Amino acid sequence: MDAKNRFETKVTFALSRLEWLGFLTVSLVLAFQHRTEIRWAVFILLFTVIDVIGYLPGAIAFRRSPDRRVPRGCYVAYNLMHSLVTAGVLAGAWALFVRPEWALLALPIHLMG
């Protein structure tokens, strides 16, 4: 399986994307409704940490590599950081050790977008 040879049918894939769009819409509406309660520095931190850990190392390795290949750890990090499970663990840890807050909506907004 890859981007051109999917396991899903076109309809199944479209329905899956619609689910993600619905979840993105709900997350954006909640963020808009609670925009005055969001700690925006925390929101930006949570939004960007996914790519700082999951994308940037691979992008740097790709640009520095003469054959444009990256170490396996780079795409493992990308997939790990762009996982709803990882986002759930991060949100749960944040809520437990810091506090539950609306800034955590940055995680589903980033992943669903």
Please report the pLDDT score of residue 3 as a whole number. 63
Q: Is the pLDDT of residue 25 over 70?
A: yes
Say how many CA atoms lie within 13 Å of 107 toward its Cβ. Answer: 19
In this structure, is residue 71 part of a structural domain? yes
Q: Structurally, how many domains does the chain consist of?
A: 1
In this structure, is residue 81 part of a structural domain? yes
In this structure, is residue 64 part of a structural domain? yes
In this structure, is residue 106 part of a structural domain? yes
The pTM assigned to this predicted structure is 0.87
Q: Which domain holds residue 92?
A: 10-112
Distance (Å) of CA 53 to CA 17, 24, 49, 73? 25, 22, 6, 11
In this structure, is residue 3 part of a structural domain? no
The pLDDT tens digits of the residues spanning 67-106 come to 989 999 999 999 999 999 999 999 999 999 999 999 999 9
**What is the average per-residue pLDDT within 57-69?**
93
* Helical pair 56-64 and 40-54, crossing angle rounded to 10 deg: 40
In this structure, is residue 36 part of a structural domain? yes
In this structure, is residue 87 part of a structural domain? yes
In this structure, is residue 5 part of a structural domain? no
Residue among 82, 79, 58 at smallest CA distance from 70: 58
Distance (Å) of CA 6 to CA 35, 56, 58, 84? 38, 27, 24, 20
